[in-house]
Homo-oligomer: A and B are copies of this chain.
């Protein structure tokens, strides 16, 4: 059963899945909040925030990785503070890989959610408010369910990005077997060695299968969510 993969490959697969899932899970609420802020609230510095969010997309991943390393490394200002205060270490740990993946996927997620958010009919929200629901409850019961297609699309983009990310990750948390050596990094490493092609191809196939599974699941969810949002019978 487990034979088709070597332990090292299993390790990379598991790590990739773990990193991608955590990064999606952790960044999702933040992405929803950010999208909401950017779409609905007119605060000063909005375009700066918007720009910052898109940075990981614009910059070569290596640059993002270096920035992470400088800020979140054990000697970095934020990394040092996190370690002193909460004992959280990101540099050269899988948690750092989660941070890198989350950051790289963040603009994709925020964009998708914003698109859905812009499509929401504000008349439904005002109807809910006349029925006694405050802003927060309206958001949870009316807006959020209608955001589902965007959230699912954002999550799958971010998950795929999390699986595929390596530039920022390898720069930030390096390529440490069992800790930060995700599928992508492993594939990259194998490509760097003269004899690694076969292994690289194997791992590539695994990465593709993993992402396809997530993709198909998300498509089903998204279709159901979109039918619901349109008020169609289930």
Identify A188's interface contact among B60, B108, B185, B188, CB under 8 A: B60
Q: Is the CB of A188 within 8 A of B157?
A: no
Q: Which of these binds chain B: A21-29, A129-137, A209-217?
A: A209-217
Q: Is the CB of B55 within 8 A of A191?
A: no
Q: Is the CB of B208 within 8 A of A55?
A: yes
**What residues of chain B lie closer than 8 Å to A166, measured between beta carbons?**
60-62
Q: Is the CB of B119 within 8 A of A164?
A: no
Q: Is the CB of B114 within 8 A of A58?
A: no
Most buried by B among A118, A204, A212: A118
- Name the residue on B nearest A188 (C-beta): B60
**What residues of chain B lie closer than 8 Å to A62, measured between beta carbons?**
166, 187-188, 191
Q: Mark A137-176, 1 if CB is under 8 A from B, else 0.
A: 0000000000001100100110011011011000000000
Within 8 A of B (CB), among A102-142: 107-108, 111-112, 114-116, 118-119
Q: Is the CB of B59 within 8 A of A208?
A: yes
Q: Is the CB of A215 within 8 A of B51?
A: yes
| A164-B114 contact in complex given A63-B191, A66-B191, A119-B119, C-beta closer than 8 Å | no
Say how far A195's CB is from chain B's closest CB, in angstroms.
Answer: 15
**What residues of chain B lie closer than 8 Å to A119, measured between beta carbons?**
115-116, 119, 149
Q: Report Cα–Cα, A208/B55, bound state, in Å.
A: 7
Q: Mark A191-224, 1 if CB is under 8 A from B, else 0.
A: 1000000001000100110011001100100000
Identify A164's interface contact among B47, B60, B66, B204, CB under 8 A: B60
Q: Is the CB of A157 within 8 A of B57?
A: yes
Question: CB of A54 within 8 A of chain B?
Answer: yes
Q: Is the CB of A215 within 8 A of B164?
A: no
Q: Report Cα–Cα, A20/B131, bound state, in Å.
A: 48
Ranked nearest first, the 4 interchain pairs of A and B with the lowest CB-CB distance are: A119-B119, A58-B211, A57-B160, A60-B184
Name 9 extra pairs, CB < 8 A, besides A47-B215, A47-B216, A115-B150.
A51-B212, A57-B211, A58-B208, A60-B184, A60-B187, A62-B188, A63-B191, A112-B112, A115-B153
